[in-house]
Amino acid sequence: MSERLQPGDVAPAFTLPDADGNEVSLADHKGRKVIVYFYPAALTPGCTKQACDFTDNLDLLAGAGYDVIGISPDTPEKLAKFREKESLKVTLVADPDKKVAESYAAFGEKKNYGKTYMGIIRSTFVVDEDGKISHAFYNVRATGHVAKIIKDLGI
């Protein structure tokens, strides 16, 4: 597993397919601030709440100069269903081999109900205009996390 990212680290580059199969690269957002968040699975209660929170606050975040990209190991087809069902406006991209999640240390050992397994660690990263990490949040809660980011960023 990768080392956890810290403020000042260069954000790992990625190019992944979105819900429509179009490629989305972190490099496409150079010169803008980007919130990159990793979530375990589309169409699950916690991930739905988190994605809806980002969608509900997208205008506020965009107005402050932030783009939002959600990354999960789901297929583009499942992401399209998720987007349609929940009327999501955030960019959702697919990382089925979890390589990008691994590069952000957002894939690793998790514990749930006494069982240990490998999975996506719900994590959020704020990337500045120069492609460096300004904030790294690991093991975040699905509920209330977007409000915390907005507060931490002073938006």
Amino acid at the residue 142: A
Asked if the structure places residue 107 within a domain, the reply is: yes
Residue at 90 is within a domain: yes
Number of domains in the chain: 1
- Active-site annotation holds for 47: yes
4 belongs to a structural domain = no
Domain hosting residue 34, numbered range = 9-153
Kindly report the pTM of this predicted structure.
0.95
Q: Are 120 and 40 in contact (CB under 8 A)?
A: yes
**What is the C-alpha separation between 40 and 123, in angstroms, rounded?**
10
CATH number for 110: 3.40.30.10
Residue 3 resides in a domain: no
Q: Is the residue at 24 inside a domain?
A: yes
66-120 tens-digit pLDDT: 999 999 999 999 999 999 999 999 999 999 999 999 999 999 988 878 889 899 9
- Flag whether pLDDT at 2 surpasses 90: no
> What's the length of the chain?
155
**Per-residue pLDDT at 16:** 98
d(CA 64, CA 54): 14
pLDDT at position 52, please?
95
At residue 19 the predicted structure's pLDDT band, cuts being 50, 70 and 90, is very high
- Maximum alpha-carbon separation in the chain: 44
**Catalytic-labelled residue, pool 26, 47, 100, 105:** 47
Q: Please, which contacts does 130-134 make with residues 24 or more away whose CB atoms are closer than 8 Å?
A: 131/10, 131/11, 131/13, 131/26, 131/27, 131/30, 132/7, 132/8, 132/9, 132/10, 132/11, 133/5, 133/6, 133/7, 133/8, 133/9, 133/10, 133/11, 134/7, 134/33
Work out the number of other CB atoms within 10 angstroms of the CB of residue 125. Answer: 25
